[in-house]
Chain A
Amino acid sequence: ILNVEQSPQSLHVQEGDSTNFTCSFPSSNFYALHWYRWETAKSPEALFVMTLNGDEKKKGRISATLNTKEGYSYLYIKGSQPEDSATYLCAFKGGGSYIPTFGRGTSLIVHP
């Protein structure tokens, strides 16, 4: 069983704050790390696909970094807005399987 951990479990921030959270995964046999955003009552949507150690991806105010050697990825949100409120899931592909293993997610609530 692959262990994919996300922290914190939940986060409350004020509009305009910058924030970050972590996804930890096995550091061996790495294929890819995906980030998804899941808004309430909607479908999870892919944010980033990260495949190489040192990868940095950016989409607007959201960015992500990847360290496969130590087994972690950070997701950063700069200047949080209420519409950023969602659960952010990471999914690890590796350990001999291309089937993604999900973390429990980080629930972000941005207060106006």
Chain B
Amino acid sequence: ETGVTQSPTHLIKTRGQQVTLRCSSQSGHNTVSWYQQALGQGPQFIFQYYREEENGRGNFPPRFSGLQFPNYSSELNVNALELDDSALYLCASSPGGGGNSGANVLTFGAGSRLTVL
């Protein structure tokens, strides 16, 4: 059983550029969530995808967008990067989908650390 893998692990971009982060979900999981962890903060929910549709969104602007593919892997795209987008981006998968039960825990990847200069 493979876990959640994310790529790249580290990257550096400049302000105004665009970035794509990738995530492969754990086998058997059909739901993918993305979180942003800025320095000194807890993980902040960006959005969740279930069956290739966005299934919930946190307080992030539209320049944060995503995709989920038929194999349940996912991408996070951020356009017009700002300095404050520098953070660790965590991907997590879970079973259950749109009707997530309270008991479903998240299986996390190790994250992609983005630095915006």
Contact = CB atoms under 8 A, between A and B. Distances in A.
Interface of A: 1, 4, 6, 31-32, 34, 36, 41-46, 49, 51, 89, 91, 93, 97-105
A99 B42 contact: no
Given A32-B102, A89-B42, A102-B42, A43 B3 contact: yes
Given A46-B105, A49-B105, 7 more contacts: A1-B59, A31-B102, A34-B105, A44-B43, A49-B103, A98-B101, A104-B41
Interface stretch (B64-72, B77-85, B106-114): B106-114
B62 interface: no
A36 B102 CA distance: 15
Contacts, number: 63
Contact of A43 (B33, B99, B109): B109
Interface of B: 3-4, 33, 35, 40-45, 48, 56, 59, 90, 99-111
25 contacts: A6-B42, A31-B102, A32-B101, A36-B108, A43-B4, A43-B107, A43-B111, A44-B90, A44-B108, A45-B108, A46-B106, A46-B107, A89-B42, A91-B106, A93-B100, A98-B99, A99-B45, A99-B48, A99-B56, A100-B106, A101-B45, A102-B42, A102-B44, A104-B40, A104-B41
Contacts of A101: 45
A32 B48 contact: no
B110 A43 contact: yes
Contact of A104 (B42, B103, B107): B42
Do most interface residues of chain B lie in helix, strand or loop, or is the interface mixed?
A: loop
A36 B45 CA distance: 16
Nearest to A51: B102
A46 B93 CA distance: 12
B108 A43 contact: yes
Contacts of A100: 45, 106
Contacts of B45: 99-102
